[in-house]
Structure 1
Amino acid sequence: MLPATFKLCAGISYRHTRNMTGLRKNALAAIHHELNRRAGPGSGNWINQVRRRSSFLSSRIEEAEEYSPEEVTYVRQGESALQEAISILGEQEGWTVETVASNGDRVLSKVVAGVGKVFKLEVVVDQPLETLYGELVGNMEQMGDWNPNVKQVKILQKIGADTMVTHEVSGDTPGNVVGPRDFVSVRCAKRRGSTCFLAGKSTQHPGMPEQKGVVRAENGPTCIVLKPDAADPNQTKFTWLLSIDLKGWIPKTIINRVLSQTQVDFANHLRQRMASNVSLEMAPAC
């Protein structure tokens, strides 16, 4: 499953829904404050690059005056998820190795105050960043075609260039250890310089109420970070932060095993998908 769902972000005032300049100033100030607090000698290089690009902190909201209060709320939720994910990924201490695959893929975890246990997948994919970004963002609704952990991804609503609301339905786990789950998510896609982000958090949407027979799970913040490998620009460093509440009475040991394995499986399925795309492009025309 590839959820990117999250809790509703409270605290948006009616004045700000009418004044996008005020909304952006508050959001930028909050993100600037968090990055300044987190970034330091122990921070990752990508955080420092984000700090150097002030343009990253703006929403790029075109024709903002035409946004409805509901759309403004979704935009703010997406930015909140991105801010929270950056904060967690910027913490270098306290991570525990969950699993390391033979190819070097690894999953780490830590407990974050106010969030719970989060998982972080770190892999290198033998594909250029642009190709991966196009698959994960541009072809998002096709994910169920190549990832057996996902039955369906549907875009419910798009807001501007950066924000969307999606509905995801998870696939069956081996032995049906975890039954069907669905997620309604707000996603914030950002491309700044050489780094791409896809962050998200659980939300609600009038077009997708809870479904009978399917448990509505929650997660967030989540974030996929794509950066070109410094040693080979045709390869991409892929980091996936995952935080999820599957709901129901499932032992934590099972949840931890399922989530970490899901991340490792996702990396393998993604590689197979990209290799298949390359093969199709190279096949001679009939």
Structure 2
Amino acid sequence: MLPATFKLCAGISYRHTRNMTGLRKNALAAIHHELNQMAGPGSENWIHHVRRRSSFLSSRIEEVEEYSQEEVAYVKQGERALQEAISILAEQDGWTTETIASNGDKVLSKVVPGVGKVFKLEVVVDQPPDSLYGELVGNMEQMGEWNPNVKQVKILQKIGNDTMVTHEVSAETPGNVVGPRDFVSVRCAKRRGSTCFLAGRSTQHPGMPEQRGVVRQVTMPAENGPTCIVLKPDAENPNKTKFTWLLSIDLKGWIPKTIINRVLSQTQVDFANHLRQRMASNVSLEMVPAC
């Protein structure tokens, strides 16, 4: 009944109906009737119902938003990557320690059937999840400014609030053991309560053909598993974040697996340290008094 009432109210905003006194009276009477029904025995119940109804209507509006077939395909790829990553992270058995840093940061690995070897970074960062989410998602294109392992991140296309297609160019490793690579990825950013997710996997995009001088990391989903960053409040201190990064990537080329494993593990540990420095720098800038 309430959605119909909203439509009735919307009608009086049109010029040709504004002066229809009967319509305005009917709309007001309908609203009054609906709110009285919602109120029931508790005087504040209607607030809950209005919020719930508004949320429902908003979600329905989002659901009917029209996407092209290409956009729908990207959304499905991103959501599939997220679900696969969550499934991998949910399995607690079979992880082997690759490295443990002096500050407690650690990288684990395991072989997942149908995916291959995956790496999992587990660290605690002295920043709340919202701050990290804002940096990693909201300021994604600035990552090359603070992470020396990344030359550039560019958002090629945004689809709704949760999905984007990005192009990332990695820097070569010391000694050029692993040369520069570039990645075209579909990314899915979600928030579930206090937990934030940023999942992705390689894809193709017409706006970013292969680049000269770098190895394009494009493989079929069955050959290249998902990546995912999970941000969750630390159990002991909600102002800190339990940061988990699942990495599944085939670097291609004639590189020994032992070197690849070492490079990927070190890249994850380095990322955590660079992220800490970036967040500390942001805090310092916020504390500088204005002139």
Q: Which runs of 5+ in 1 are unaligned?
A: 1-54
1:232 paired with 2:233, answer: no
Contact 1:167 1:185 in 2 (8 A): yes
Aligned to 1:90: 90
Instruction: Note the C-alpha offset of 1:283.
Output: 1.2
Instruction: Note the C-alpha offset of 1:275.
Output: 0.4
Instruction: Note the C-alpha offset of 1:66.
Output: 1.4
Letter in 2 for 1:220: G
Distance 1:60 1:155, change over 3 A: farther
Q: Cα deviation per residue 1:258-278 (whole Å; 9 max; x = unaligned)?
A: 000000000000000000011
SS in 2 for 1:184: strand
SS in 1 for 2:239: strand
Letter in 1 for 2:210: E
Instruction: Note the C-alpha offset of 1:194.
Output: 1.0
Contact 1:200 1:220 in 2 (8 A): no
In structure 1, distance between residues paired with 2:166 and 2:61: 19
Distance 1:165 1:64, change over 3 A: farther
Q: Cα deviation per residue 1:146-205 (whole Å; 9 max; x = unaligned)?
A: 000000000000000000000000012111110010000000000010110000011000
Aligned to 2:46: none
Contact 1:222 1:242 in 2 (8 A): yes
| TM-score of the superposed pair, with normalisation by structure 1 | 0.78
Distance 1:61 1:217, change over 3 A: farther
Instruction: Note the C-alpha offset of 1:63.
Output: 5.2
Aligned to 2:270: 265
1:172 paired with 2:172, answer: yes
Q: Cα deviation per residue 1:107-158 (whole Å; 9 max; x = unaligned)?
A: 0000011111000000000001110000000000000000000000000000
1:278 paired with 2:283, answer: yes
Which residues in structure 2 correspond to 1:137-216 (within 5 Å)?
A: 137-216=137-216
Counting matched residue pairs gives 229
Structure of greater Rg: 2
Instruction: Note the C-alpha offset of 1:249.
Output: 1.0
Larger relative contact order (C-alpha < 8 A, sep ≥ 6)? 1
Aligned to 1:19: none
Contact 1:153 1:167 in 2 (8 A): yes
Instruction: Note the C-alpha offset of 1:235.
Output: 0.2
Instruction: Note the C-alpha offset of 1:247.
Output: 1.1
In structure 2, distance between residues paired with 1:167 and 1:284: 37
Letter in 2 for 1:157: Q
| TM-score of the superposed pair, with normalisation by structure 2 | 0.76
Q: Cα deviation per residue 1:23-60 (whole Å; 9 max; x = unaligned)?
A: xxxxxxxxxxxxxxxxxxxxxxxxxxxxxxxx9xxx99
Instruction: Note the C-alpha offset of 1:220.
Output: 3.3
Which residues in structure 2 correspond to 1:69-84 (within 5 Å)?
A: 69-84=69-84
Larger displacement relative to structure 2 (206-215 or 135-144): 206-215
Q: Cα deviation per residue 1:225-271 (whole Å; 9 max; x = unaligned)?
A: 00001110110000000000111111111100000000000000000
